[in-house]
Chains A and B, each alone.
Chain A
Amino acid sequence: QVQLQESGPGLVKPSQTLSLTCSVSGGSISSRSYYWNWIRQPAGKGLEWIGRIYISGSTNYNPSFKSRVTISLDTSKNLFSLKLSSVTAADTAVYYCARDPRITIFGVYSGDGMDVWGQGTTVTVS
């Protein structure tokens, strides 16, 4: 079955750019059936959706991250990536990638619940 695996530096300095990748195995990231998402969770706190990408290259981002976030796809390597610029200590969190099936609801495309998650990777900004 499909598995997701996050990777990237565990320590990032303030003001620098956090870069993570999510490798997809057991399935193709080029499938037209899924959105690919990033979510984060500060220690002891709740979940926060960062954004998603579709195979067309279309992205949606949480406005809370304003222009700091970029999500991209690399179909040749079957992975997608997260870049978060100008990080501060508030960006310290466990970062998860997740798959979300794409459905149509009353003629509008939408996600259908994040059904596959990576194990998460801890990023500390210090």
Chain B
Amino acid sequence: QSVLTQPPSASGTPGQRVTISCSGSSSNIGSNYVYWYQQLPGTAPKLLIYRSNQRPSGVPDRFSGSKSGTSASLAISGLRSEDEADYYCAAWDDSLSALYVFGTGTKVTVL
């Protein structure tokens, strides 16, 4: 029951910049931080961005996050073949009790 909407796919050639959008509402993105996860094929998700625009240690600075109003974006600059993966945004939703909601997911293909 994803309440965060992402485009199903995005693509680019090596070296290009790719941006993934995540659309939510005032009860989630509009009032809370956004998190981004990368899921390589056959593996568990990995935290890529926290607090909307912070990178955990070890995450390349090619990955950047931003938030404006009820939407957020993940940008991948200098696209590399190893970036081919599924990407999910996530946020806490205040509409009910604590509820963590994930986006619908975006498959990034490196052409």
Contacts and interface: CB of A to CB of B under 8 A. Distances in A.
Contacts of A76: none
A117 B2 contact: no
Nearest to B33: A105
Interface in A35-77: 37, 39, 46-49, 52, 60, 62-64
A65 to B, nearest CB: 11
A119 B96 contact: no
B68 interface: no
A60 B93 CA distance: 12
Contact of B102 (A46, A64, A110, A113): A46
B44 A117 contact: yes
Nearest to A49: B100
Interface size bucket, A side? 20 to 34
A8 B24 CA distance: 35
Contacts of A112: 33, 50-51
B63 interface: no
A46 B104 contact: yes
A60 B98 contact: yes
Interface residues of B, number: 28
Interface in B81-95: 88, 90, 92
B103 A46 contact: yes
Nearest to B46: A117
Contacts of B101: 49
Nearest to A45: B105
Interface in B40-61: 43-47, 49-51, 56
Contact of B92 (A37, A63, A110, A119): A110
Please list the 5 inter-chain residue pairs (A to B) with the smallest Cβ-Cβ separation, ordered nearest first.
Answer: A113-B50, A49-B100, A117-B44, A60-B98, A47-B102
Interface of B: 1-2, 32-33, 35, 37, 43-47, 49-51, 56, 88, 90, 92, 96-105
Given A39-B45, A47-B45, A113-B56, 7 more contacts: A64-B1, A96-B44, A113-B50, A113-B51, A115-B47, A115-B50, A119-B43
